[in-house]
Every structure is written in structure tokens, then in C-alpha cells.
Structure 1
Amino acid sequence: MERPHQLHWHRSSLEGVIVPSSQPLKVEERGLAIRVFDEIIRHFEPCQATDIGYKPVTLIRLMKNEVSEKDEFLDLFFSFIHQELLGEREGTGLEQVLSHLARYRIWSAEETNSLRDCLVIFAKYLVNNFFLPLKALAVKTPQPTPALSHSRTPEATFGTPQRVSNLRQACLIRDRHRCVISRKFDAEEGQGRYKRDGPNSKDDDGKSLLEERDNMAFLEVAHIIPHSLMSLTSEEGEWRLADSKQIAYRTLRMFNPGAIHLINGVDIDRPMNALTLTHDLHKLFGNFDIAFEPVGSEAHTYKIDYVETDRMGRVERLPVSLTLYLTPDRSIDPPSQLLKIHAAIGRILHLSAAGDYIDDFLQDIEETEAGEVMPNGSTRLDDYVWFRLGETSVY
């Protein structure tokens, strides 16, 4: 396999970065920040270097377009760029930073190249600390064992295996034991009903299951926002997000802080953050290869399609438009905001090529763990060590 380009880990944590507060920008600051940002992107995006494996300036532009907290993103962007350019850690306000960067067109060639390099470093910062752990975690929803699947322990029971088991049961009931995309009935449930009711087996709507006996599938629970991204760790008797996850959490909040607040802590394992899918569709959804886009103004109605619409590997005939099943009290329905965040991340990964880049990296990690070390030195051992040392931020 041809190896993707070498990763250069410039910054793997917030150490040394002055993180700006999330206070809204002043009106005059916001206007200037947007203008300077747009000018920098327009200047550098057409000639951006792609030898790192993806389009860094495109990724930055897409992030700014997709997040709802644009003030916070712009504040982070300009603070990061200014610190990288001048090595200044404090004492410089945003107004001074913007005034300095607004004059980049009259800078020397060396200074302009330094700004270009800083854009690449900022894109790597986002990839290393947000998109990479997000993709590494997204297809890792743990599936319950049969014993746990049939447990009736209350949902609040502490402990991830039991919570996920309860989550699967709740989603199966809400989604009527069907994949929300393909509408295939759960094979395990179908077999159980056949053993109990024989030829009179019916689905949740009272229709015969006999006509579907050759078209069922084993269904899984799939998190919309990855289960482990916001799991808590115990430190000195207190449950909190590990420092290594703070960057990913903060970046995720920029897309929609209100929606992310719904799934803090153990709420990440609530049915509002999960869907019932077949194994293949779970893999595609978790990899951000398919997305739910709202259709018109009708609640819970979506067009589901591949993010890369002309992709070759199509395990399901898409697009399809459908309305999600709802509970009578609508207490555990997936909020459209979470599905919008998932779709936005998918667009960024696809259009910037960062998704393919991360897939290649994760495949290299798997091959390294399997003992495949290339004699020509192309195996990315330093990247592997970095990834595993930061494993607590990923798993």
C-alpha cells in the first residue's frame, strides 16, 4: 500500500496555547475579524499545499462556515495564528492581532510564507485534536452481550456495558425493531417472535413478519456523537473530562453548544443520541460517510445520502427520504441538531479530504499493531507512539 505523507505533530494539547474566552466579539471586532479571515482564506486557499494529505486551508474555511459559534472559532483562530507567528503568549488583544494580520499583503515573502505555514499548523491542530479522535471513536459503539440485552436493570445503572445495553433496548423499541434507514427488521427479535408465535409472528405495527423473513438483519445501536468522546474519568474522587479530551469537547461545542449540553456525561448514552442501524450502515454512519439532511420544515424528516454522492462502495441504495419513528411523548427522539452536527462534520471531512487522510492513518496504526513494519522506513512509528501515548484521549 502506498503510504500517505508523514504526519508532523506540532501541537497535541493546549499546552502553551492561550485559549481565549468564549465571550462574544464586539460588533466592530466581528466585522473586521470576518473580513480579515475571508481575505486570508481567499488568498491562500487556491495555492494551498496538499502534500500533507488533505487541504488545510479548505478545512479551516469549512469549519468557520459550519460552526454556529463563529465568534469563538474566529477568536481561537486569530489567537493561535498570532501566537505561532510571533511567539507571543499574552498581552495582545484581538484588535491588535487583527490590525497586524490585516496588513499581510505588504509583508515580505518570508513573512507571508510563515503565515501560510501557520495555517497548515492550525489545520493540523484541528485534525489531531478533534477530527482524528472523533473518527477513531465514531465506529466504536460497544454492542451489548445477549445477557445484557435482555436485562431489565434500570437505565440509570452506573457502568457503560449496562447503559449501552439499556440504550439498545430503548432504541429498538422506539425504532420499532427496524433499522431507521433500510427499515429491515431485527433478525434476533424476529427469531424470538417466531419461536413464540410461529406463523402468526407480527412486527410492532401488527403486520406479518413472514414476508420479511429473508430480508432481516442483525441491528446495532449507533451513537450520533461518539460514546467515548465525552466519557468521564475519576480524578481525586471527582468525575470529569480528561484534559486530553477538553480540546475535542470545546471544538465540538462550537457546532452547537445547546445541543452538546444535552449529552454531557452519562447523557451521551441516552436514546436521543443514538439510532438503530444495520452493521454496514452503522459503519458508514460512524465513519461520517452518510448523513441525515433535513427535508423541508417537516419535523424528523430527512434525506439520507452518501456524503460523497458518486462513491463506488455503496452497500445501500441511497438517497432515501424518510421520517424517523417517534415515541408517543417524543421524549427520546434524536434532536435534529445532533444530526446536523454529524452532517456538518461529514461535509468538512469529505470536502477537505481530511477524512481519507485520517482513514489512511488509522489503517497504518492497525498494520503497525499487526507487526507490519516496512523495511524502507515508511512505517510511521513516531506517529504510532504519539497516538498510543494519547490513547486515553481516544478510547
Structure 2
Amino acid sequence: MDSLSESCGSRSPPVPDAEFDTHTAARQKMFARLDMYQSLNDDDDTIHFLRSVFRFLPIQGQVHLADDADSCDDDDQLRQLAKHLDTALLRPMVATGGNTPAITPSPRPRVEDSIEDLLSHDFDSTTRRQGKLRRACLQRDNHQCVVTKFWDFDYDSRPPDAHTADLEAAHIIPFGLENFREDERLRHAQIWHCLYRYFPTIHDLFHSSNEDVNRIDNVMMLAASLHREFGRFSFILEETDVSGRYRVKTFSQFRNTFLRPHMLEYAIVASHDPRYPAPNKFLLAVHAAVGNILHATGHGELIAKTMKHLGGSGGHALAKDGSTNVEELLSVTGLSLLAINPSHRSPARKEKHSRHVASSLPGTENQPPKRHR
């Protein structure tokens, strides 16, 4: 079995010849705006962050980001754009434990119209079809983990002496737009709008014909511990020049020392059952881009360290020496002052381009489903 080596760096995706001129024009527009930016201080990473995001977006996403940056009237709006990408794209994708972060609104005008359109859709519960979905994914993936080829422990027809594991149906895009309370539905619409804006190839995959994140091409079978690693973006699947062949790329925060030697260097992502489509390459590209951005910007490590403050027996731990960055903690976990002091009520604030959204929202983003036997 091919062994897996840790990523030595994050390379920019290759630019197809047919899109080279489009990419070049977007890059020139983006970098021209960034060159005019005046950093607040040595800790201001706005330029590095936006350059890194641009680097790993698909071509049309690069065009949109360049347009959005160019339309920022001042540096405050450019910082707001960076914060929006962080809170509406990166942090929701990596959030675990039922906590979802508060979103900084986009500085782009008329963004609310698109969000309201998303809010007009109603969808089935994302848990209603879990059992049926898992059975279909097991059949499509040949009852094997996609990146180790370990067999499902409960599959009686597996080869003798084969490696086995408890397999789980891992979502590639980990959250959905469901029929929550109004503030939650608005928040999820903001997340989806950000995804559609910068990854337009997935726009037609959701929010039509009652499709949600439980569509089968948004799910693949992984060993349970790898499911958690995938949700933390500790590894990604990068598309290669060969159709259906993906490079299994790990990052430094990958924790599973037992399964790591068994992970393939290149995984074949295909369907073993003609009734079901293979995991969608555009959705895998979103996951890969987010993973690369988290690694290149250092925001993945920042989010992980901030989430670590939630350790212990479900508590929200603050360092005794006062070193905890409470603002970062709140933005990552979705906690509000109300979570710290239930008697506190913050006054309502009006945003220039967006309604205020409550920050303490329950959720189940990318949580491994309970084992089905």
C-alpha cells in the first residue's frame, strides 16, 4: 500500500490555459488594490490573508474576490472583507462541537438581496435521511474507507484477514440551510452566500429540488477517526490531472499516528455502484481550498488553539493569567456575552449593510453520526 507523506507546502492550483488571461486580469486587479493598503500594525495580516485566499480560490472565485476588494472604498472595508471571509467561510467549515461562529457582514453592497433569496427555500431535516444515505454510500464506496481502503467492520463479505474500521459517512460540505429559527436561517444563508460567491461551480448543487448537504455526492465513507481529521482539515484530497485520482495531503495538525501509515498517497474516488454518483469533484475542491487557506494563512492553527479553550468537561475555559483572547474565543465558538452571563442583554446594533445576527447558535456542523449497526 502506498504510504502517505506530510505536505511540505501549499502549492497554488495550476491555471488552465483557457483561463490564464482571466486569472491574470483578476490577479492584477486584486494585487493593485492590496498594494494601496496601509497596515494598522505589525499584527495586521490582512494582506497576507487575502493574498492566500485569492491563491487557492477557483478562477471565477478569484474574479469575484478581486472585484470585491477593488470595490472597497477604504482600508476599513478591506479589513471587513477579510474578516467576512474568515467568519463566513473558514470558521464555519472548521467549527465542531455544536458551536458556530458569529459572522462579519460582507462590505459588498446588495449582498442582502442574495441572502434573502436563499432564505426563501425550505429543506428537509439534515438528519432525516442519515440511515438511508449511509447505506447508499457504503454500497457506492464498496464498504471501504476512501483513503485507507479499510473495510467496514460490519460488512460480512469482506475478505478474510482484511483491515477493518468503524466507517462513517463524512460530509464534504459540513453544514446546511435548514428550517431553524429566523436568526439561525439568516446566519446559514450568509455562509451559503459566501460559498456560492467564491466557489460558483457548486451553486447549482444545493438549494434546488430540496437538495441539501445530504446529497450522496457530498458524502464519502471514512474511518471514524479520519472523519474527525477531515472535519478539522488535517488532511484534504487534491485533484490531479488524472480523473478521479486525488492526492491525499496531510498538514502538521494531523493527529492519527495509527492510521497515517495506512493512508494512500493517491486515492481513487469513484463509484462502485452505477446507481450512485461518486463524491463530487467540485465539493472536494472546496474542502481542499479551505484546507490550503487555513494552512497557508495560519488561521487553522489559530482556530484550533482558540477551540482548545473549550476543553474540559464541556466548559469554556479561560486562562487564569488573563491571556485568553476573549474576542477570538467568541468569534470561533459562537458564544455571546449571554453565554457567560445569562442575565446580560446586549443592546441591539445596526450594521451598515446587514442585520445583526445572534452569535450563540446551536449546530451540529460536521459531527460524526452515531454508528449504525
The answer as to whether partners of 2:139 and 2:273 remain within 8 angstroms in 1 is no
Distance 1:61 1:379 in 2: 28
CA deviation after TM superposition for structure 1 residue 183, in Å? 0.5
Distance 1:62 1:138, change over 3 A: farther
Q: Deviations over 1:35-68 (max 9, x none)?
A: 35313445769x896637xx43222112223142
The TM-score with structure 1 as length reference comes to 0.63
Paired residue secondary structure (2:247): strand
The answer as to whether partners of 1:139 and 1:286 remain within 8 angstroms in 2 is no
The answer as to whether partners of 1:290 and 1:306 remain within 8 angstroms in 2 is yes
Distance 1:312 1:368, change over 3 A: closer
Greater CA drift, 286-295 or 131-140: 131-140
Q: Which residue, out of 27, 31, 41, partners 1:38? A: 31
Distance 2:41 2:66 in 1: 22
Q: Which residue, out of 172, 177, 180, partners 1:224? A: 172
The answer as to whether partners of 1:180 and 1:277 remain within 8 angstroms in 2 is yes
Match of 2:179 in 1: 233
Distance 2:178 2:256 in 1: 36
Q: Say whether 1:125 aligns with 2:71.
A: no
Q: Which residue, out of 240, 248, 263, partners 1:304? A: 248
Distance 1:77 1:233, change over 3 A: farther
Match of 2:136 in 1: 170
The answer as to whether partners of 2:171 and 2:220 remain within 8 angstroms in 1 is yes
Distance 1:272 1:58 in 2: 33
Paired residue secondary structure (1:232): coil
Distance 1:341 1:162, change over 3 A: same
Distance 1:368 1:76 in 2: 42
The answer as to whether partners of 2:206 and 2:213 remain within 8 angstroms in 1 is yes
Q: Say whether 1:160 aligns with 2:108.
A: no
Q: Deviations over 1:312-371 (max 9, x none)?
A: 864413552232241443642112111111111111110000111111122223459525
Greater CA drift, 55-64 or 324-333: 324-333
Greater CA drift, 174-183 or 62-71: 62-71
Q: Output the aligned Cα RMSD.
A: 3.6
Q: Deviations over 1:296-316 (max 9, x none)?
A: 23x2121212145x9786441
CA deviation after TM superposition for structure 1 residue 176, in Å? 1.1
Q: Say whether 1:363 aligns with 2:363.
A: no
Any stretches of 5+ residues in structure 2 without a counterpart?
1-22, 100-122, 337-358, 365-373
2:165 maps to a residue whose letter is A
Q: Say whether 1:64 aligns with 2:33.
A: no
Q: Deviations over 1:23-44 (max 9, x none)?
A: xxxxxxx998753531344576
CA deviation after TM superposition for structure 1 residue 220, in Å? 0.7
Larger radius of gyration: 1
Match of 1:109 in 2: none
Match of 1:342 in 2: 287
Match of 2:348 in 1: none
Any stretches of 5+ residues in structure 1 without a counterpart?
1-29, 86-114, 141-156, 194-201, 204-208
Distance 1:290 1:76, change over 3 A: same
Distance 1:234 1:159, change over 3 A: closer
Distance 1:168 1:344, change over 3 A: same
Q: Say whether 1:251 aligns with 2:243.
A: no
Structure with greater contact order relative to length (CA < 8 Å, sep ≥ 6)? 2
More helix by share: 1
CA deviation after TM superposition for structure 1 residue 180, in Å? 0.7
The answer as to whether partners of 2:233 and 2:291 remain within 8 angstroms in 1 is yes
Paired residue secondary structure (1:392): coil
The TM-score with structure 2 as length reference comes to 0.66
Distance 2:184 2:272 in 1: 32
Paired residue secondary structure (2:151): coil
1:217 maps to a residue whose letter is A
Distance 2:220 2:98 in 1: 13
Q: Which residue, out of 232, 238, 242, partners 2:185? A: 242
Match of 2:369 in 1: none
Q: Which residue, out of 227, 246, 260, partners 1:316? A: 260
CA deviation after TM superposition for structure 1 residue 286, in Å? 1.2
Match of 2:335 in 1: 388
2:185 maps to a residue whose letter is A
The answer as to whether partners of 2:126 and 2:176 remain within 8 angstroms in 1 is no
Distance 1:363 1:277, change over 3 A: same
Q: Deviations over 1:165-200 (max 9, x none)?
A: 2211111111111101111111123xxx2xxxxxxx
